Amino acid sequence: MAAATTTPNVLLVMEEERRADVYPAHVLEDIGRMARWHAPALTRDGLLRDPGVLEEVHVLLTGWGAPVLDAALLSRAPRLNAVMVAAGSVRHLTRPEFWARGIPIVSAAAANAVPVAEFSLAQILLGLKQVHRLAREVTVSRRFPHDPRVSGGYGSRVGLLGLGEIGRLVARHLQPLGVEVLACDPVIDPAAAGELGVRLAGLDELFASCDVVSVHAPLLPETEGLVGERLVALLPEGATLINTARGAVLNEPEVIGVLRDRPDLTAVLDVTWPEPPAPDSPLFTLPNVLLTPHLAGAMGRERARLGELVRDELGRLVRGEPLRHAVVPARASTRA
């Protein structure tokens, strides 16, 4: 890792719309006490108009609307020794020439995982209580069913498709709730899954035996369209499918077909492909689909967690301590 400068020059480059949420005043003040603001905050377009501002920058701070770390940018930033991204994936920002420079890059994925896991947990618990299905039935029948068939939480089975940052956090949230947690993830060690109280299972068992399946897989060539007709049709009666990962992990036309045939199922989709869906998409009209506008991730005041993570990492860099959230190059392409 490149050596830190005692008082580094820092520059913030990101979109204006969410800047104040991600880097609120208290975070900017804290950063100003440990580093030197080299110039006022810029947008990506502003940086393109004035690339020379990078020449004396040691640490680039960014978030949504980050500049691409390509050869052109790096040629303008000879003193750059760290990039800190107050957002999740850095896959779309980094180019081979960036990794070749050996510059550490921090991701705030761990901070963004917190609200996604909380949202997922809420929807899992609602799914176990059959809230969405029963609400539909009550609205149509205008009466309350007697002793409705509800699996409830205790002793039920929840499936997690993916045990990355978010999936692991969801598993930890579920640990004290008395549910059995299954997960399908080809790269996690069974012992590590066991520490989370999770039993690894194949895709078929996950979908065929779980009352709720929550999708947390990254979008990779091997996961694109992974969840389609065959798997969704395996879901038990009254099951709930939740997707807070990437819309394209689901084969939406196939999933829509099953949902049409299985009104007992519920799909909670916080992400779609495309996003938003086309105006004539059946996702808007199917009664057993709950669409939310990609709000599981950090929203409003929750976004300050991302800037605070970056601030804390900058402090470690200044003090010469190891970074806790630096992205390992080999793993960058597999993060959502």
Question: Do residues 271 and 215 make contact, with C-beta atoms less than 8 angstroms apart?
Answer: no
- Residue pair 318/311 in contact (Cβ under 8 Å)? The answer is no
Q: Where are the beta strands (DSSP E) in 147-229?
A: 157-161, 180-184, 198-200, 212-215
Inter-residue contact 101 to 109 (CB < 8 Å): no
Q: Which residues contact 146 (CB under 8 A, 6 or more apart)?
A: none
For 59-80, b where at least 16 C-beta lie within 10 A, e where not — what string? bbbbbbbbbebeeebbebbeeb
Report the candidate in 180, 184, 182 with the shortest Cα–Cα distance to residue 153. Answer: 180
**The residue type at 268:** V
Q: Which residue is it, tokens 């989370």? A: 196
Which residue among 36, 294, 316, 335 is the active-site one? 294
The residue assigned the tokens 């809420």 is: 122
3-state secondary structure of 35: coil
Catalytic option among 18, 38, 132, 246: 246
Which long-range contacts (C-beta less than 8 Å, at least 24 apart) are formed by 274-277?
274/247, 275/247
Phi, psi of 128 (to 5 degrees): -65, -30
Contact 179, 156 (CB under 8 A): yes
Is residue 246 annotated as a catalytic residue, yes or no?
yes
Q: Is 178 left (phi over 0), alpha (psi -120 to 50) or beta?
A: left
Q: Which amino acid is at 166?
A: I
Strand order in the sheet with 59-62: 36-37, 9-13, 59-62, 82-85, 105-107
Q: Which residues are catalytic?
A: 246, 294
